[in-house]
Structure 1
Amino acid sequence: MSRNGLYKIIYFFGIIQISELAWLRCYKGSIDNYVVAKLEEPIPLSNSSCFNRDLPTVVYTFGYRGRTDGPATTAVLNAYIATNKRNVLLLDWENEARSGVLGIPLGYVMYALPNSKRVGQQLGSALLNMHKAGFSLRQFHLIGHSLGAHLLGYTGRWIREHGQVIPRITGLDPARSMFEGFFAIQTGLDKTCAKFVDIIHSNPGNYGTTQSSGTVDIWPNYSPSDGMQPGCPGGKHEMFSMEDLCSHYRAWMLLVESLRNGTAFPTAAAESYEQWLAADHYTNVSTYLGDLVNTRAHGDFYLSTNAESPFSRGLEGLKPEYRTRVERQPATSDITQYLKLR
């Protein structure tokens, strides 16, 4: 039996597990003040005092082993709540996204991965129910990190199959494992999942995907050699440690900073990384990373950032930043390489 066939058997065995119950949280004024509803019964939530029908709605969700009180979740929710311009919802699938007793690699394949598709489709059903109850889908913007980005891809694809379309999905470094390469057994977030799909790639070739799959694909500090962000440590680190996830986390960090300053991250359009390097001037801002992204744009966009917060280099970020990069050391075994979300 081929290795790919073995991983497919592992995955489909995982499908037969029963997922836990996912939830939607609606925040009112602060991250500590929220209303909760079952994902299967969203209407009471949308009729609560935390939901304003006149405002657009952001729905955020985390990835594998994410938490409702995790650093990404807390930072993104706080940033959107602070704008006071949107309804802010969290898709809580913490129980379905955990690794459990199986450990990190097998927990991903056998539990979280099949659950991401199931929960994504359940969210699609919930949003359609809200639409039928008078809440226009044109007001929704879905944002997901890592495996959560693909979960929202399932949501968008499911809604499109049922005759509607989500206007925008933002993918924050969508997960690579099982969605790309020799072991790919899933079709994740791509430009068919919504009217406009923007993807921020911060750790391509490691935890994140390497392919341009959105309407707009943004590549901060892109490097074809290591896929690492400036300021992040090279070499081997404990799996899912802060050091290990540093570059993978940079996508949501840039988004959060962009919410405080919408023009913080201008980007340069280029057909390839090599074309970006070869350009000797950047007189025009092609689009911005974040909420001010040009929804009429399409293609690949590049920028450089600082190594630490504040990450914005302003217009200087349109120029490639040359730096010495430390190559990420390869995994030591085949199963680790492909089940370590690499």
Structure 2
Amino acid sequence: MGASVYFIGLLVIGAAFGNDDKPKLRVYNGSVEKYTELPFDEADHIVVLPFFNSSQMTTIFCHGFTGHPNGPAVTAVIQAYLDQGQSNVVLLNWDKLAADINNQISSSYLNWAAPNAIKVGAYLADVLLSLSAAGLDLNKTHLVGHSLGAHIVGIAGNRMAAKRVRLPWITGLDPAGVAFDSKRPEERLNPDSAIYVDVIHSDPSKYGSKRNLGKVDYWPNFRNVGPVVQPGCDNKPYPRFSPGDLCNHNKCWQYLIDSIRYPGTVIGTFARNYRTWKNYSKPQRLDAILEVGKHYDQYVPGNYYLLTSAFPPYGLGENGL
């Protein structure tokens, strides 16, 4: 299908957003301070930017609720991929559509950001198809989403799969549970959103999903009894969405960053469930290992468990199995 047909589709879907609200793709030119940002309906221009390397992977990161380009998750993840130097690095900036409105966190999430995430995911699918028609190699494209952003990239993958286009790799970072755990698979991230879907669950007791959403689901520092509390965090009451309140939810992208910076250190071992993993012998724990943040063609699908340190570097290697 030609790029012109997809462009018409972009105009139709884009009409759902006001001009100031439209999501954008920010393409970085070597540092977080240097970038070109294009609205979705002009995104196909990305492939002709002089610093865009079409022979490399393209990594697109999507922030979550209340996220923005200068937020801690965005700056840290983008910087990690820039430092890695193996891909074109792109931010899906939907900050206006993900915002907390009038300091009403719960209603902003349920009535504004979550519905917008579904629309942005559908819109992103058409953007990617338009980019593909313009020359982007989708087989070298990796989508990474945090919290609500994980469902945005998942929905995009689902919409593309329905058109018989399969993305190779989606990474979900503690995908949001509220308002999405009850949805049908095609309305959220699911194991078939891409050929390979890996998910890091760091806050399944609160903001993150408890569901298996990937072909591979990593469960760092998991426990069956009581809340899952990541090392370096605690279970004290904090103001809603304060750093302490989000500590567990944010560990997912911190673990991903360390997997990029220190390859081979953040690893998990396969087990049917947590109880089985706890009863594994050391040889059993070393039998089927996958590395967080790495793409696999051959793997045992299912749950992977690991322990981490309280402070970076978080990965413990085999000592965390």
TM-score by length of structure 2 reads 0.90
State the SS of the aligned residue for 1:287: strand
| Paired residue type of 1:284 | D
1:300 Cα shift? 0.5
Cα gap change, 1:18 to 1:24, in 2 (>3 Å): closer
1:134 Cα shift? 2.3
> Which stretches in structure 1 are left out of the alignment for 5+ residues?
1-15, 319-342
Aligned match of 1:310: 313
1:219 paired with 2:222, answer: no
| Paired residue type of 2:291 | Y
Aligned match of 1:150: 151
Q: Which runs of 4+ in 1 moved over 3 A?
A: 16-19, 184-187, 292-297
Is the contact made by 1:65 and 1:99 (CA closer than 8 Å) also made in structure 2?
Answer: yes
Aligned match of 1:11: none
> Which stretches in structure 2 are left out of the alignment for 5+ residues?
1-14
Aligned match of 2:289: 286
State the SS of the aligned residue for 1:41: helix
Deviation per CA, 1:266-320, whole angstroms, max 9, x where unpaired?
A: 21110000001111213335211112556533111000011111111111001xx
Where do residues 162-181 of structure 1 align in structure 2 (5 Å cutoff)? 162-180=163-181
Is the contact made by 1:124 and 1:156 (CA closer than 8 Å) also made in structure 2?
Answer: yes
Cα gap change, 1:285 to 1:316, in 2 (>3 Å): farther
Cα gap change, 1:295 to 1:197, in 2 (>3 Å): farther
Is the contact made by 1:267 and 1:287 (CA closer than 8 Å) also made in structure 2?
Answer: yes
Where do residues 42-191 of structure 1 align in structure 2 (5 Å cutoff)? 42-101=43-102, 103-180=104-181, 187-191=187-191
Matches of 1:188 and 1:118, distance apart in 2: 12
State the SS of the aligned residue for 1:24: strand
Cα gap change, 1:17 to 1:139, in 2 (>3 Å): closer
1:38 Cα shift? 0.9
Aligned match of 2:23: 22
| Paired residue type of 1:200 | I
| Paired residue type of 2:95 | E
State the SS of the aligned residue for 2:132: helix
State the SS of the aligned residue for 1:100: coil
1:50 Cα shift? 2.5
Matches of 1:45 and 1:134, distance apart in 2: 10
Q: State the identity %.
A: 34
State the SS of the aligned residue for 2:52: coil
Cα gap change, 1:177 to 1:136, in 2 (>3 Å): same
State the SS of the aligned residue for 2:281: coil
Matches of 2:214 and 2:220, distance apart in 1: 15
Is the contact made by 2:202 and 2:249 (CA closer than 8 Å) also made in structure 1?
Answer: yes
TM-score by length of structure 1 reads 0.84
| Paired residue type of 1:218 | Y
Aligned match of 1:12: none
| Paired residue type of 1:276 | W
Deviation per CA, 1:41-91, whole angstroms, max 9, x where unpaired?
A: 212122102311100100001100111110010000000001111000100
Matches of 1:70 and 1:185, distance apart in 2: 31
Aligned match of 1:297: 300
How many residue pairs get aligned? The number is 301
1:39 Cα shift? 1.0
Aligned match of 2:236: 235
1:123 Cα shift? 1.1
